[in-house]
Amino acid sequence: MSVILHVQGLTKGFTMHHLGSQMAAFSDISFDLNAGEFLLLKGQNGAGKSTMLRTLYRSYLAQAGQVLFHSDHGVIDLLRAADVDVTHLRRTEIGFVTQFLVARPRVSAEDLVAEPLRMAGHSAPQALDKARYWLKAFGVKDSLWRAYPTTFSGGEQQKVNLARALILPRKLLLLDEPTASLDAHARVALVARLQELKQNGTAMIGVFHHPDDVEHLIDRVIDLTPDAPNMEDRADVAV
Amino acid sequence: MTLTLDAPRIVTTRPLVTLRDVTKTYGDVQAVTRVSAEVFPGEVLGIVGESGSGKSTLLRMMNLEDTPDSGSYTLDLPDVQGNLFELGRFARRMLCATKIGIVYQNPHLGLLMKHSSSGNVAERLLIAGERRFSVLRDKARAALAASEFPLERLDAPPIELSGGMQQRVQLAKAIALEPALLLLDEPTTGLDVSVQALVLDTLKRLQQDRNITMVIVSHDLGVIRTLADRVMVMRRGEVVEAGLVDQIFQDPQHPYTQQLVHAKL
Instruction: Find out whether B116 and B153 touch, Cβ atoms under 8 Å.
Output: no
Find the mean pLDDT for residues A49-78. 95
ipTM of the modeled complex: 0.87
Mean pLDDT of B100-109: 91
Indicate yes or no: CB of A82 within 8 angstroms of CB of B229. no
pLDDT at A230: 59
Q: What's phi and psi for B175, nearest 5 deg? A: -100, 0
Confidence at residue A136, expressed as pLDDT on a 0 to 100 scale: 95
Write the DSSP string, B129-182: T---HHHHHHHHHHHHHHTT--GGGTTS-GGGS-HHHHHHHHHHHHHTT--SEE
pLDDT in tens, B123-154: 989 988 889 999 999 999 999 998 889 999 99
Separation CA B220–CA B236 (nearest Å):
18
In chain A, residues with a C-beta closer than 8 Å to the C-beta of B38 are 84
Summarize the confidence of residues B98-122 as an average pLDDT: 92
Across the range B32-53, mean pLDDT stands at: 93
Task: Encode pLDDT of A127-170 as tens digits.
Answer: 999 999 999 999 999 999 999 998 888 889 999 999 999 999 99
CA distance A106 to chain B (A): 7
Instruction: Judge: B7–A80 Cβ closer than 8 Å, yes or no.
Output: yes
Mean pLDDT in residue range B180-192: 88
Helix, coil or strand: residue A214: helix
Do A117 and A167 touch, CB atoms closer than 8 A? yes
Mean pLDDT along residues A176-181: 87
pLDDT above 90 covers a percentage of chain A that reads: 65
Which pLDDT value is given to residue B12? 64
Q: What is the pLDDT of residue A15?
A: 86
Nearest-CA distance B129 → chain A (Å) = 34
Give the confidence band of A229 by pLDDT, cuts at 50, 70, 90.
Answer: low
A16 in contact with chain B, both atoms CB, cutoff 8 A = yes
Domains and CATH numbers, chain B: 1-41+48-91+217-265 (3.40.50.300)
Choose among A61, A85, A87: nearest Cβ to B253. A61
When pLDDT is cut at 50, 70 and 90, the band that residue A236 belongs to is: very low
Q: Which residue has the higher pLDDT, A229 or B193?
A: B193
- What digits encode the pLDDT tens for the residues B219-245? 889 889 989 999 999 999 999 999 999
Question: B9 and A81 in contact by Cβ < 8 A?
Answer: yes
DSSP letter string, A188-208: HHHHHHHHHHHHTT-EEEEE-
DSSP type of residue B80: B
pLDDT at B187: 87
